[in-house]
Structure 1
Amino acid sequence: MFKNYLKTAYRTLKKNVGFTAINVFGLALGLATCMLIVFYVVDELSYDKYNIKADRIYRANMQIKFGGIDQKYASSPAPLSAAFQNDYPEVERTCRLLQRGGYNVKKGNQIIHENKVILADSTLFDVFTLPMVAGDPKKALVEPKTVVLTETTAKRYFNTTQAVGKTLTLGENGLYKVTGVIKDMPKQSHFNYDFILSMTTTQESKENAWFSNNFNTYVLLKPGTDIKKFEAKMPGLMRKNAGPQLQSILHLTFDKFEADGNKYQLSLMPLLDIHLKSNLVSELDHNGDIQYVYIFSAVAIFILLIACVNFMNLSTARSANRAREVGVRKVLGSQRKYLVAQFLSESMMVTFVATLMAFAAAYFLLPLFNNIAGKSIELSTASFVWLVPALLVTVLVIGFLAGWYPALFLSGFQPIEVLKGKLSAGFKGGLLRSSLVVFQFFVSIVLIIGTLVIYNQLKYIQNKDLGYSRNQVLVVHGVYNLGEQSKVFRDEVKQLPGVTGVTMTGFLPTSDYRNSSSVFQERSLDPKKAVLAQTWTVDDKYLPTLDIKLTKGRNFSDQMPTDSAAMIINETAARLMGVRDPLNKSMFLPMDNMAKTFKEYHIIGVIKDFNFNSLEYNITPIMLMYGQDTGSLSVKMNTANITSLMALIKDKWKSIQPGREFEYSFMDDDFDASYRKEQRMGTIFIIFSSLTIIIACLGLFGLAAYAAEQRTKEIGIRKVLGANVANIVGMLSKDFIKLVFIAIVIAIPVSWFFMHKWLQGFAYRQNIQWWVIALAAVSAVLIAFATISFQSIRAALANPVRSLKNE
């Protein structure tokens, strides 16, 4: 019986090649798109799950509200780890990670700058699952100046993974002994490093400084620990440990500190939430966003539904063509359940073929998708363990969902009505079919509006006046490696033709190099007169090179020795100070964690606010101090031949340090990199939206073809009576266009609500413009009309004699 169903289904589908092709291609396109989205979502949700104890690992986050600023940090104080371990029996282990930027690593006569370097406690391997291929994990990071490498790194430097006992020269600290080699960290990790240095190497890890938040602290709780009860102890932990230092520094009790509206709060974040739900200051890497997972999951579901809708629409639209078949089958004794099984077998066959095509398409498109999404998704043997059953379930579920209504609809025809020719056919009267068309275009219009809003916001970000100039600014990294020769390098670059400005500092609007400090207006360090600000060390060429505008006062000058105690602040800092004119006012900057010593600065200028953080955040206070910082050299260029000028700069570098690599970037590229996630998501959104519209148009194309077919006799009569092509096209199109207008009315408020919510994630954003809505609506109408017109014009141009003769 089943074999007969398949044979009959094959013959029927082969007989209606056009119908079958539209269904198979539409379903395949929808399923391929869904598979790519599923691969993306699974990859995003799999971060940090490689850790065996992942469900018991938490990261300590800090919220600091002080000096007019309220910020959340992924970092915490150095002594927090010991406090957890010593005072709380619920804690099994703790581990700290400390970022210290890149290191220069010597390999023969070559010096390589490595960025993926981090310091870690020796308990790292007790908390995280990082299998070691050589060495003892319990001893690997115990002693100072020891390092653990990944397999790939060990092979790169020693041509073997058996590198334990060998030495590496890192940075200015000399030799490090290799005490372990671990497997490469999984790509689905919220941190990924090649060099892990022992935490005991740095003195900072031993300091009892409760108000210096530089460490990423992780807590492994014992099995069965109630996290809510444990978190309830956090305020007491901060009062007990940070309270005495607060009293010593600011002469305030912790209760009084909080009563004044300030916060210094500790919270715990589950390890598995970090990648998608954390975007705090001091993250170890650029995380994802759970909103995009929700959005793309919804898009996948909608695309799948639209593909199913196409199948249902086209199958029911062909009711007249299948009606006589059903009538004859019923007269010959066929029961309805067998007819349902027949139609479902056709649906299953279409779905099976479409699924095979979709998998092949997704497999071959995966590298392109990885490139667009910035992913490295691979289909391994483990992937097929869940993928093959998922595809089989997909065939059954999609085949049933797409075929159940057509099966019930077609099998329900009464044979007497059918054989008498009383069955009404065509597009009119199909309420469900019309509703499904509305749904298709509702989704399409929502995606069009979403695409336009995302594109508009990204364009706004790229073109917004940030308060500084980033065009044609070359940033040479690691200038500190030149030592005393850094000034020579700066001066020689300054003399090159085409160079209009040079400034030497690592504190740049587009870098991650930051320094946050509490600065006070009074010598008594009154917290009510404090400003939590970025404190950057810059030279006198910083403002002119980056074209940052002064609104009051003057710039630093190398001709004025007193400028070593001078300060330039931004407008936000001036506003938070609460003074009418901040010029010549004094500010006091603590010089150590306990504020036992501080330095007095006098304000000589106020600069216009500039965006040195992501546009997701408001501008915060910044205070510039005059001094030397050799983090990097920024070169403002004005030349038509950038390549030639860069070659000259590189030659200057090589002449001073021939063994060190020349690392550089352009400031506008660094800025764009800050929004790479949004740009990638915008590109993916555009692609998925386009595919959704194509799938919807495939269904509409098929419907228009069958609507024209059902009204062949009417079209012939109208043409004989004098109707022209425009009249026929208008007649056939108006029913569809009405549905598109209904979809527009429903889609506009829905899309506005969701895109308005998405825009709230940016402190600086462009509101949804009226033309975005108008353009989306017009585009939907034009797309629908163009799809329908092809079939309508073809029907209108047909010879009426032939259609009337056939009737």
Structure 2
Amino acid sequence: MIQNYIKIARRNLLMNKTFSVINIVGLAISLASFILIALYVTDELRYDQHHKYADRIYRINSDLVIGGTDLHLATSSDPMGPTLKAEYPEVEEFVRFYNSSGGRLIKKKEQFIHESKIAYADSTLFRVFTIPLVAGETSNALNKPNTVVISESVAKRYFGTVDVVGKSIETNNAKESPYKITAVFEDMPRTSHFQFDFIFSMHNVNYPWNSFLSHNFHTYVLLADGTNVASFDRNFAQVIQKHILPQARQLMDINSMEDFERSGNRIHYSLMPLQDIHLHSDRYPELGVNGDVQYVRIFSFIAIFVLLLAYVNFMNLSTARSATRAKEVGVRKVLGSKKKWLVTQFLTESMLMVCLAFFLAIALAALFLNYFNSIAGKELAFTDLFSPSFLSLLLLFTLLVGGLAGIYPALVLSRFKPVSVLKGKIDGGFRRSKFRSSLVVFQFLTSVVLVAGTMVVYQQINFIQNKKVGFDKEHVLVVKGTQALGANAESFRHSVSQLQDVQSSSFARFLPVANSDRNDNAFSKDPVMNESNSFNAQRWDIDYDYIPTLAMEILQGRNFSRAYGSDSTGILINESAAKVLGYANPIGQKVYMPYDDGQSIAYTVVGVVKNFHFESLRQQVGPLLMRLGNNRSAAAFRVSSNNLQQFIGQVEEEWKARSPALPFSYHFLDESFDAMYRVEQQVGKLAISFSFLAVFIACLGLFGLTTFIVEQRIKEIGIRKVLGASISGILVMISKDFVRLVLIAIVIGTPLTWWAMNKWLEDFAYRIDIEWWMFAVAGLLAVIIALTTVSYQAIRAATANPVNSLRDE
């Protein structure tokens, strides 16, 4: 019996090649899209799950509000971890990472290589995180100064083998002793929120230890099994009273934390689950580039809707063929075929098409995997696509949904009355089928939402890239690691500045882009700091030429000048800092910065800089104070060259003339700025790709419904033509029902899209206003697409010979 069902199903598919191809291809495209998005989502969801104690590892987050400045940090103080372990038995272990020093220059033979994936960590690292070793032992790794553990790939790159335990590596710092390699670990999985190749001993960090008021360490704790995290979080209040308040009193006049908080200030700590960091943390500074759970949800919905669109088409195209199957059903029923046999027959045909679409979808997903990786910023491999577990679940899901999609056409076809169908008549019609009309509305509702949403995303990205950010990011070359030149750093900058294409230059450790150095400090308006006069702000050390090199604007006062010897205690502030200080004219006013010994240094405000965005446009511009300093970790050059490659070659020559062993590393400031919004750019590309697919699949559905209605009304069209109806009149008659449904989709989709995109834009402190024309364009596009799709079948029916339409066999 089953063999017979399959044979008949195969014959029907071959006999109706056009419908079969459209159905299978439409299903395959939607399934391929679903597969790729499913790979993306599962990859995002499995971050940090490879650690043995992943469900018991938490990071300590810090939330500080001081003087109106609000900081949400992924870091905490250096004694926080040791204190929690010593005083609370729920903490089995802790580990800290310190990586604020940026990259390091590591010596390989006679050359130095700039390595950026470095950190310092406690010897407890391997007791908290699961990082398998390929050489060495965890018991003595990092427990002494001048020790280091390295990744397997680094060991092979520097030494050609992993058997390097006991060997040493050198940095460019002549004052440092060589670091002894105590272990080699497997390369960290791609699905880890931190990626390190070199992990140095925490004993080598030059830091003012035991300060609860400085937050520069990523601290993780391993809690005992069964610990109530919500209850444990309340212990931080005790830590603040016992340890932080006494240190705070040394710097400011503060009676109690209650007084501190009544002044609008706040210090709060909380535990964040390790497995939530990648998708749910947008704090500063992160150890890597995190994802966003919002985008995971968005693409999950897109995947589901694209798949639903395809199955809606499947039902529409299947029922569109009902007129051609009417006599077959009638004959089968007259010969005694039962309804369940007919349902089984049509379900077999549906499942056969679904299975063919499944295998085609796998091939399409494999074919477009590299393209998907390029626009999604992923490194998904073919092994991910063809893993037995993923394929099994996908096949089971496909068969399940395929069965659900096929049951409706099967029931529709099997319920035809023999007397009616043997005359070639089918009860009901398109206009009377609310279910079928709802499917069309759903198809174009999804299309309108995706098209309008994509336009909003692209408008926001365009706004970000073209917004005036308070500095000129174009044509600024940044040369990294200039501090490695030592005494030659100044001569390098001077020589490059003499090149014809250089307009100005500056040593620039701090830059207004992501992944640049940052430095938070507490300041006060008075010599004695208290809860009412203190505020927190960024403190950058710059030189005399920083402001003109970055093309920033001085609104009040002046820039630092070599003509003023007093500028060593001068300070520039931005508009946000001026607002926090509250002075009508801040020029000449004093700002005080306390030190750990309880003393403070007074700075005089010499100028107010127009606000510039030094973080993402997702955040408001915070207060910033800039003082004169000599930080030579990077040099910035404003250039006007038309031949940048030639200019870069000249700069590299100046570098090599001073230190041929040191690597020459550079980037342009606008590239770093664009990198801050790479996730949004990837979302835009993905959105437009899947919007196109959704529209294409919706067109297939309309094609099927048009075929269905034309077949139902073929005799009506013939009679109208005999009575003198024009082709345009028949075209309008057939098209108006579809246009009405598309207009309903637009009416429903417009407020839905407006609400969804407003929620997305809430993440940006600076954002566009959603304009009416975005929805008008999306709606007009939907109407045009619908009319274009319908017109083909409508014109074909309108131009057909009415004699053929009216013939009754």
TM-score, normalisation: structure 2: 0.97
Q: Report the alpha carbon displacement of residue 383 of structure 1 after superposing the two structures with TM.
A: 5.8
Q: Equivalent residue for 1:101?
A: 102
Moved more, 97-106 or 698-707: 698-707
Q: Is the 8 A contact 2:141 2:182 kept in 1?
A: yes
Are 1:327 and 2:319 matched, yes or no? no
Partner SS, residue 472 of structure 2: coil
Equivalent AA in structure 2 for residue 713 of structure 1: K
Q: Is the 8 A contact 1:531 1:573 kept in 2?
A: no
Mapped to 2, the partners of 1:251 and 1:529 lie a distance apart of 10
Q: Is the 8 A contact 2:326 2:424 kept in 1?
A: no
Aligned runs of 1:220-231 on 2, under 5 Å? 220-231=222-233
Mapped to 2, the partners of 1:103 and 1:775 lie a distance apart of 52
Are 1:488 and 2:504 matched, yes or no? no
Q: Equivalent residue for 2:710?
A: 708
Which of 614, 618, 622 is the matching residue for 1:616? 618
| RMSD across aligned positions (CA) | 1.5
* Residues 203 and 665 (structure 1), Cα distance of their counterparts in 2 relative to 1, 3 Å cut: closer
Q: Is the 8 A contact 1:569 1:605 kept in 2?
A: yes
Mapped to 1, the partners of 2:425 and 2:34 lie a distance apart of 42
Q: Equivalent residue for 1:602?
A: 604
Partner SS, residue 731 of structure 1: helix
Mapped to 2, the partners of 1:383 and 1:199 lie a distance apart of 42
Q: Is the 8 A contact 1:246 1:254 kept in 2?
A: no
Q: Cα deviations across residues 730-769 of structure 1 (Å, max 9, x unaligned)?
A: 2221111111001001101111111100000000000111
Q: Cα deviations across residues 172-224 of structure 1 (Å, max 9, x unaligned)?
A: 124111000000000000000100111111242x7110000000000001112
Are 1:572 and 2:572 matched, yes or no? no
Q: Cα deviations across residues 599-636 of structure 1 (Å, max 9, x unaligned)?
A: 21101111111111100000000111122111211111
Mapped to 2, the partners of 1:805 and 1:78 lie a distance apart of 90
* Residues 490 and 532 (structure 1), Cα distance of their counterparts in 2 relative to 1, 3 Å cut: same
Q: Equivalent residue for 2:683?
A: 681
Mapped to 1, the partners of 2:686 and 2:52 lie a distance apart of 33
Are 1:639 and 2:641 matched, yes or no? yes
Q: Is the 8 A contact 2:68 2:264 kept in 1?
A: no
Aligned runs of 1:47-446 on 2, under 5 Å? 47-99=47-99, 100-172=101-173, 173-204=176-207, 207-252=209-254, 253-380=256-383, 384-424=387-427, 426-446=429-449
Mapped to 2, the partners of 1:728 and 1:631 lie a distance apart of 75
Q: Cα deviations across residues 433-462 of structure 1 (Å, max 9, x unaligned)?
A: 111010011011111111000001000000
Moved more, 536-545 or 795-804: 795-804
Q: Cα deviations across residues 457-499 of structure 1 (Å, max 9, x unaligned)?
A: 0000001000100111111111111111111111111111111
Q: Cα deviations across residues 639-665 of structure 1 (Å, max 9, x unaligned)?
A: 222222111111111111111111111
Q: Report the alpha carbon displacement of residue 429 of structure 1 after superposing the two structures with TM.
A: 2.0
Equivalent AA in structure 1 for residue 638 of structure 2: K
Equivalent AA in structure 1 for residue 529 of structure 2: L
Mapped to 2, the partners of 1:141 and 1:342 lie a distance apart of 69
Mapped to 2, the partners of 1:382 and 1:671 lie a distance apart of 34
Partner SS, residue 447 of structure 1: helix
Partner SS, residue 268 of structure 2: strand
Q: Report the alpha carbon displacement of residue 791 of structure 1 after superposing the two structures with TM.
A: 2.0
Partner SS, residue 64 of structure 1: strand
Aligned runs of 1:548-559 on 2, under 5 Å? 548-559=552-563
Equivalent AA in structure 1 for residue 690 of structure 2: F
Q: Equivalent residue for 2:759?
A: 757
Moved more, 783-792 or 137-146: 783-792
Q: Cα deviations across residues 99-153 of structure 1 (Å, max 9, x unaligned)?
A: 1210000101111000000001111101000001101111111011111011001
Unaligned runs of 5+ in 1: none
Mapped to 1, the partners of 2:429 and 2:318 lie a distance apart of 12
Which of 511, 517, 533 is the matching residue for 1:529? 533
Mapped to 2, the partners of 1:422 and 1:655 lie a distance apart of 90
Mapped to 2, the partners of 1:757 and 1:224 lie a distance apart of 36
Equivalent AA in structure 2 for residue 624 of structure 1: M
Q: Is the 8 A contact 2:265 2:531 kept in 1?
A: no
Equivalent AA in structure 2 for residue 688 of structure 1: F
Equivalent AA in structure 2 for residue 285 of structure 1: G
Mapped to 1, the partners of 2:330 and 2:53 lie a distance apart of 64
Mapped to 2, the partners of 1:381 and 1:548 lie a distance apart of 48
* Residues 501 and 797 (structure 1), Cα distance of their counterparts in 2 relative to 1, 3 Å cut: farther
Aligned runs of 1:656-735 on 2, under 5 Å? 656-735=658-737
Q: Report the alpha carbon displacement of residue 567 of structure 1 after superposing the two structures with TM.
A: 0.6
* Residues 519 and 626 (structure 1), Cα distance of their counterparts in 2 relative to 1, 3 Å cut: same
Mapped to 2, the partners of 1:758 and 1:300 lie a distance apart of 18
Mapped to 1, the partners of 2:166 and 2:489 lie a distance apart of 35
Q: Report the alpha carbon displacement of residue 300 of structure 1 after superposing the two structures with TM.
A: 0.8
Q: Report the alpha carbon displacement of residue 558 of structure 1 after superposing the two structures with TM.
A: 1.6
Q: Equivalent residue for 2:503?
A: 500
Q: Cα deviations across residues 76-116 of structure 1 (Å, max 9, x unaligned)?
A: 00001111111111111100011121000010111100000
Mapped to 2, the partners of 1:198 and 1:639 lie a distance apart of 44
Moved more, 211-220 or 536-545: 536-545
Q: Is the 8 A contact 2:65 2:71 kept in 1?
A: yes
Partner SS, residue 387 of structure 2: helix
Q: Report the alpha carbon displacement of residue 422 of structure 1 after superposing the two structures with TM.
A: 4.8
Which of 450, 455, 475 is the matching residue for 1:452? 455
Mapped to 2, the partners of 1:679 and 1:651 lie a distance apart of 35
Equivalent AA in structure 1 for residue 378 of structure 2: K
Moved more, 706-715 or 65-74: 706-715
Q: Report the alpha carbon displacement of residue 425 of structure 1 after superposing the two structures with TM.
A: 5.8
Q: Cα deviations across residues 291-341 of structure 1 (Å, max 9, x unaligned)?
A: 111111111111111111001111222222222211111111111111111
Equivalent AA in structure 2 for residue 110 of structure 1: Q
Partner SS, residue 767 of structure 2: coil
Identity of aligned residues (%): 46
Moved more, 141-150 or 361-370: 361-370
Are 1:21 and 2:21 matched, yes or no? yes
TM-score, normalisation: structure 1: 0.98
Q: Cα deviations across residues 40-98 of structure 1 (Å, max 9, x unaligned)?
A: 00000000000011000000000000021112100000001111111111111100011
Mapped to 2, the partners of 1:89 and 1:198 lie a distance apart of 26
Mapped to 2, the partners of 1:326 and 1:139 lie a distance apart of 79
Q: Is the 8 A contact 2:39 2:385 kept in 1?
A: no
Q: Report the alpha carbon displacement of residue 382 of structure 1 after superposing the two structures with TM.
A: 9.7
Q: Equivalent residue for 1:583?
A: 587
* Residues 675 and 629 (structure 1), Cα distance of their counterparts in 2 relative to 1, 3 Å cut: same
Are 1:477 and 2:456 matched, yes or no? no
Moved more, 413-422 or 51-60: 413-422
Partner SS, residue 380 of structure 1: helix
Q: Is the 8 A contact 1:22 1:699 kept in 2?
A: no
Are 1:515 and 2:519 matched, yes or no? yes
Q: Is the 8 A contact 1:67 1:518 kept in 2?
A: no
Q: Is the 8 A contact 1:351 1:398 kept in 2?
A: no
Mapped to 2, the partners of 1:382 and 1:803 lie a distance apart of 50
Q: Equivalent residue for 2:746?
A: 744
Moved more, 414-423 or 15-24: 414-423
Q: Report the alpha carbon displacement of residue 595 of structure 1 after superposing the two structures with TM.
A: 4.8
Equivalent AA in structure 2 for residue 159 of structure 1: G
Q: Cα deviations across residues 239-294 of structure 1 (Å, max 9, x unaligned)?
A: 21112111222131223212322111110000000000000011111100001111
Instruction: Return structure 1 stretches of 4+ with deviation > 4 angstroms.
Output: none
